[in-house]
A and B are shown apart, each in its own frame.
Chain A
Amino acid sequence: MAREILFMNALNEALDQAMAKDENVILLGEDIAGGAEVQHLEEANEDAWGGVMGVTRGLAPKYGRERVIDTPLSEMGYMAAAVGMAVTGLRPVAELMFSDFIGFCFDSIIGQGSKMRYMFGGKAKVPMTVRTMHGAGVNAAAQHSGSYYGLFGSIPGVKVVVPATPYDAKGLLLSAIEDDNLVIFSEDKTLYGMKGEVPEEYYTIPIGKAAIKREGKDLTIVTIGKMLYVGLEVAEILEKDNVSVEVIDLRTVAPWDEETVLESVKKTGRLIIIDESNPHNNTATDIASVVADKAFDYLDGPIKCVCAPNTPVPFAANLEKLYIPDAQKVLTVAAEIIDDLRAK
C-alpha cells in the first residue's frame, strides 16, 4: 500500500529533499525554526515551533540555523533580502506566515523580484519561492484568512501555485524551488491536516499544468486549492441526477492551464469556476473572460463564478461558513445550466 502522509508533512519532505539536493536552498521567515539563541534548545539542537503551523519542523536541527533562518518580525526587510539572495545566486524559500501580511512586503514582489529580469534585459534571475498561507475556515478573521493568489497572479514575472492535495503539495513545491523565477506557493491552512498518498522519492509536477480530477461530459467545474473538494462533492451529487461533471483542479493560478480548461469546455459546453477569492478581478473572472473569448461558440450557457462575497473574511463561525463557497452555492448556480441541459 502506498504511503499516506499529511499535507504539511509532504511540504516538509519537499523542503527537506530540496535542501539535501542543493546547498543553495535556504529557508527564511518568522519562527520557521523558532527559539533562536535559546540556550537549552541550542544545547539539544532542537527547534521550537518549526513554523507557526509546524511545516518546517526539524529542518533547522538537520541543516543548521544558517540554512533555516529565523528572521525578526520584518517582512519588508527579509522578503527584500530574499530577492537579494536569489539575484546573487541562492535559491531562497521565504515564508510569509499569512498571505494577508503581504502589505508589509509587496514591493519585494511587485516592485523588485518580478521585474528584475525584464528591467535588466534578461540578465538577472530570481529563483525564489515564497511559501505563504491563505484561506478562511479557522475563524482567524479578516487579517489572517484572505485568499490573495489571484492578486499575485496578475503580476507579470510571477508564477503562482495553489496545491490541493498532499501529492501535489510535495511535487509542486519541489518544482517551485527548482524554478528560476519568483514563485508564490500559496497553501490553504485548512489542508495541512489532510492525509494523502505521497511517494517517498523526489518528484516534480510541472507548474502551469492543471489536473483533471474527474472526467465528465456535461459540465466543467474548475477549482482552485481546497475548492477542489467542493467541486468533487458537487460532481457526486449531480451524478445521481445523471449530470456528468468534469472537475479540473487548476493547481497553478499563474500561468493557469488554458489548454486543459478550453479543451474541457469545448467538450462540455458549460463552465463553473469555484474560487475562494473575493469576486472581482480574481482568477475566476480571468478564466471566465478567456473562455468567453476563446470558446464562445462552444458554450451552451453562461459561465458561472462561485466566489467569496465582496467582503473581508468575518470572524463569527456562522458568517465565515456563509463566506466560503460550498456545494450548496455551486448547486444553486448549476441549477440554471442543468435545467438548460435537461431542456435538450
Chain B
Amino acid sequence: MAEKTKGMPKLFASVDTSVKELVDLEIRAATDAVELTKDKAKSMYKSMEDIRNFEENVKRFFAAGEIPGFVHLYAGEEAIAVGVCAHLTDEDYITSTHRGHGHCIAKGGDLKGMMAEIFGKATGLCKGKGGSMHIADMDKGILGANGMVGGGFGLATGAAMRNKYKKTDRVAVCFFGDGAANEGVFHECLNMASIWKLPVIFVCENNLFAESTPQWYSSASRTIAERAVAYNMPGVRVNGKDVVAVYEAAGKAIERARKGEGPTLIECVTYRNHGHFEGDEQTYKAPSGEEKEWAEVDPLEVFRQYAIENGLLTEEELDQLREESIRDIEEAIKFAKESPEPSPESLYEDVFAD
C-alpha cells in the first residue's frame, strides 16, 4: 500500500472519512427540544392558511378564465415555506421557484400586491409584468419566483456572497424542487457555497415529481440530502408536511449560517398535491396505496393537532386565524379585481435602470 502511494502528497493520500457523518438520512420529525412560542405558532398557522386560501382562489379564478398564463400551485407544501421563513427577517433573502406563491407569502409578501400581480394588474407587486411565475417583493428580501428551474441556486449563492462580504449575519435561502437538484447549477452552487462557507441554506422540496417525471427515476441517489456529502456540508431530511419539524431543522441550519459556519442542504419530503401546472391531468400519480395516503396528509391539520396537543393554540384560536385568513384573501381578490390593467406605455418601461 505504502509503495502505491510513494511520493504522493498527503493531500491526495489522506481522506477525511468523517464526511459521511455530515448526513442524516432518517426523516426527522420535530423533537421535544423545539421551542415555539404562542405568537410564533399563531403567525405560522396564519401564514399556512394564507397560502392555502390564496391558492384555492387562484385555482378557482384560473379555472374560470379570470387568471391568464401558467399557474403552478403550492398548496399542500405550506409547511416547508412557513417552517423555514419563520426564522427569517426582511433582511434575509430567499429565492423561489415557478411554484412560488407559498414562499412569497411565508416571507411576508403583500397579499393584495401578489393577487393583483397574478391577475395581471397595474397594482401588482411587479406592475403586472411578472405574473405568477415571477412574483418578487424586493423590500421583503424576495429575489423572485423563478421560471427557470434551478434559477435560484446562483441568485441565493450570490446574495450569500454579498452577506458575507458585508459582514452581516443575514442569510439567503434557496428553495428548489427535486427536479432542480438534477440541474448542473445545483452542483456548482453547493460546491461554491461550501468552499466559501457561505450563509446559504438549500431547501429542497422533494415533492416526488419533476413535471411528470418521478424522483425515483430521475435521481441516481435515493435521497437529495445525501448529495451533501459530496460538498462537505450537513445534509438532513425532514418530514416536509410537519411544519414544526421543518422549523426545527431550518432553525439549526440558519443558526449555523448566521454564525459563519457555512451552508446546509435540507431535504423536505413532501408531495405535490396539484398538477405540475393547472390543467395537468396527473395520470402519473398513483390512484391508491401509500402514495395516495401520503398525498392526503394535510400539513395544516398536522399542525392544528400539534398546536392543540401541546397547548399552544386552542381550536377556537385556530378557527379564528382561519377566518381571518379567508377575509384577508377575499380583500386581496377584491383589490385585484378592482385594480386597473397596466397602461399600454408601461410595456416599454423598466427595461433598463436610468
Q: With A80-B189, A156-B351 known to touch, is A66 a contact of B165 (CB < 8 Å)?
A: yes
Of the listed stretches B24-32, B128-136, B255-263, B271-279, name the one at the interface; the rest are far from the partner chain.
B128-136
* Bound-state Cα–Cα, A117 to B191, Å: 28
Q: Is the C-beta of A157 less than 8 angstroms from some C-beta in chain B? A: yes
Q: Say yes or no: B153 contacts A117, CB within 8 Å.
A: no
Q: Say yes or no: B127 contacts A81, CB within 8 Å.
A: no
Q: Is the C-beta of A112 less than 8 angstroms from some C-beta in chain B? A: yes
Q: With A74-B192, A77-B189, A84-B159 known to touch, is A157 a contact of B154 (CB < 8 Å)?
A: no
Closest to A81 in B: B158
Task: Tell me which of B129, B162, B184 contacts A121 (CB under 8 A).
Answer: B129
Q: Is the C-beta of A78 less than 8 angstroms from some C-beta in chain B? A: yes
Of the listed stretches A87-95, A261-269, A282-290, name the one at the interface; the rest are far from the partner chain.
A87-95
A-B contact count (CB 8 A): 147
Q: Say yes or no: B136 contacts A84, CB within 8 Å.
A: no
Question: Which of chain A's residues 97-129 have a Cβ closer than 8 Å to chain B?
Answer: 107-108, 111-112, 116-127
Question: Which of chain B's residues 115-164 have a Cβ closer than 8 Å to chain A?
Answer: 124-130, 134, 136, 138-139, 143-144, 146-148, 151, 153-163
Which residues of chain A have a CB within 8 Å of any CB of chain B?
A: 26, 66-67, 69, 71-72, 74, 76-90, 92, 107-108, 111-112, 116-127, 156-157, 159, 180-181
Closest to A82 in B: B158
* Bound-state Cα–Cα, A77 to B351, Å: 24
* Bound-state Cα–Cα, A111 to B146, Å: 9
Closest to B131 in A: A119
Question: Which of chain B's residues 295-347 have a Cβ closer than 8 Å to chain A?
Answer: none
Residues in A with CB closer than 8 Å to B148 are 107, 111-112
Q: Number of B interface residues, CB 8 Å?
A: 45
Q: With A112-B151, A120-B138 known to touch, is A180 a contact of B157 (CB < 8 Å)?
A: no
Q: Say yes or no: A72 contacts B129, CB within 8 Å.
A: no
Q: With A117-B350, A120-B136 known to touch, is A90 a contact of B165 (CB < 8 Å)?
A: yes
Task: Tell me which of A76, A77, A119 contacts B129 (CB under 8 A).
Answer: A119
Question: Which of chain B's residues 191-216 have a Cβ closer than 8 Å to chain A?
Answer: 191-192, 195
Q: With A125-B353, A157-B352 known to touch, is A119 a contact of B158 (CB < 8 Å)?
A: no
* Bound-state Cα–Cα, A76 to B150, Å: 11
Residues in A with CB closer than 8 Å to B130 are 119-121
Q: In the A-B complex, list the 3 residue pairs whose CB atoms are closest, starting with the nearest.
A: A80-B154, A84-B158, A77-B188
What is the minimal beta-carbon distance from A286 to any residue of chain B, in angstroms? Answer: 17
Residues in B with CB closer than 8 Å to A112 are 146, 148, 151, 154-155
Closest to B174 in A: A84
Q: Is the C-beta of B74 less than 8 angstroms from some C-beta in chain A? A: no
Q: Say yes or no: B144 contacts A119, CB within 8 Å.
A: yes
Closest to A37 in B: B195
Residues in A with CB closer than 8 Å to B153 are 77, 80
